[in-house]
Chains A and B, each alone.
Chain A
């Protein structure tokens, strides 16, 4: 159980395009979802935390107008990279947790989205 599906797995698009990435919890309700970014050979960097029905909390240095997060239901969160540029090329990973603010509940990760901006 506790499967998180992320779509698409890979996207290549032109500079200036907006890209939407979906993260779905398939067999559980995810009160909290996280979005991460990972550069090659680097650790995952938390971008934002979103609780269902409320605005996302962005980490310092992450532009909220650039990376739009919507967590409208308990099974779906979306990340939209607006007007993407080559420097936005990265591996984006989402994770979901069943309950809010319960530290021992594990995060279940999606398989990531490889975004390449030409």
Chain B
């Protein structure tokens, strides 16, 4: 049972436009959400996070929105740059099994930003 879902395997946008990556979750115990960026043959890099007490968190070109009632979050990248081309993973954590810092990852979305 996949608790964190990224339903779009890939996304292609033009340089300078907005990229919107989506993520849905099913476990209502999740209370912290993270986005990671990953280049091929490298480890993921932490990008931005949001706690369930907030509905928005912004860091430069990256903004994460959280809709708790819909169990949905999204990552907005504005403006998109070719260097943003990578796989983006959504991850979630919460009070599960006593290990409240275990992360559950989605399968990722490959973002391609075209010059």
Same assembly = no
Q: Please list the residues of chain B having a beta carbon within 8 angstroms of any beta carbon in chain A.
A: none
Q: Please list the residues of chain A having a beta carbon within 8 angstroms of any beta carbon in chain B.
A: none
